[in-house]
Amino acid sequence: MITTMRPALTPDEWCHRRSGPVFLDIVDDEVHVVVADPDEQLVSVTGPNDLHALLALANDALPADDPRRLTGTDLAVLSILIDRLDRTRPNTHRLIALSESLFEKIAALLPPH
């Protein structure tokens, strides 16, 4: 599959777990996503539920026409692909389970429709 979308982070940014004013920090064995504003004031988000909410809000903050934004259309396409899987073939159940899990992950990041 050919993609023209650049990765969210460069290899160096992944290595340092930092991209501009956003970075990961570990405090007492707890991972925090930290954001620095232009005045160097820091805000951090931690914990699975708050980090998941941050993902959803960050996705929602992308412009509506940004190809990186996850949308209901993405879910519809994935749903069609899941429905078209040949359930009579051996080992398809694993692919279906993985696809349905991916569907649920994306759906959890989108606002209710």
Longest CA–CA separation in the chain, Å: 59
Q: Look at residues 113, 106, 112 and name the one whose alpha carbon lies nearest to residue 52.
A: 106
pTM for the model: 0.86
| Residue-wise pLDDT tens digits, 98-108 | 999 999 999 99
Domain span including residue 24:
7-46
Please tell me the total count of domains within the chain: 2
Q: Assess whether 68 and 107 both reside in one domain.
A: yes
Is residue 25 within 8 Å of 18, Cβ to Cβ?
A: no
| Residue-wise pLDDT tens digits, 30-66 | 999 999 999 989 999 999 999 999 999 999 999 999 9
Residues 6+ apart with CB under 8 A from 35: 21, 22, 42, 43, 44, 45
In a domain, 59, yes or no: no
